A = this chain, B = another copy of it.
């Protein structure tokens, strides 16, 4: 089944792994051995890092009571059952400690690593590392789901994991042996997502060419999470999410409370 506009060939093992990625939300109970975990964590460390600051960390959640709380925050029981569970965080706290040993006053409001630029770049670095780990896991026959849902309660995450000043949660990652085989999720036509030299003008109707067909493809997709009814068309999903209240996930106040200056 081709679910994207380009029927590209899986020219090697890595490309095949990436093209066949699908989120896994049901895991076998088998634990992940320490050697595999070492591979996954070391691979994450080798992702690119902005200005070589290595400004992210990951907290492995092995304590069943914290796992259960994560599942509660994310409203997803399978989080508690993931054999391997990480919270990736952006982390300038380690760099603050290192800078302090070199005589830098990190409590100054002008400390560079608490700026919005570093906040966004550290966030990016955490995601690069997470995706490297995710890709390695799939190549080893494991499955993953990325957990944005943990951000439903950022203050509770901060409390549970004792996240200090100059750190901030980015995403969770659950890993285990897959105990389900979801279908590959459709993707929109490539021309809707890749542009040349500039973003399409507002009156350029061609930039949405293929949306109707994509809506129909999505509507036919069979979601293992909700097997009693067809998935909404893509446009309907967008309209629905548009009206969700997300104000308790607000960034500015929470990042400020963790010591970051998003206005700088």
List residues of chain A with CB under 8 Å of any chain B CB: 4, 6, 8-9, 11-15, 17-21, 23, 35, 38-39, 41-43, 45-48, 50-54, 56-63, 66, 89, 93-95, 97-99, 101-104, 106, 111-113, 115-121, 123-124, 127-128, 131-132, 134-136, 138-140, 145-146, 148, 151, 160-164, 167, 170-171, 184-185, 187-188, 190, 192-199, 201-202, 207-208, 211, 234-239, 241-247, 249-253, 262-264
Q: How many copies does the complex hold?
A: 2
Q: Which 7 pairs show the lowest CB-CB distances between chains A and B?
A: A14-B139, A116-B251, A102-B239, A117-B249, A127-B127, A131-B131, A162-B198
**A215–chain B nearest beta-carbon distance, Å:** 9
- A37 and chain B: residue at smallest CB distance: B194
Q: Which residues of B contact A262 (CB under 8 A)?
A: 250-252, 262
Between A and B, 14 residue pairs with Cβ closer than 8 Å are A4-B42, A15-B140, A21-B132, A41-B190, A45-B188, A51-B241, A52-B185, A57-B194, A59-B194, A94-B193, A95-B242, A98-B234, A121-B151, A250-B264
Q: Which residues of B contact A249 (CB under 8 A)?
A: 115-117
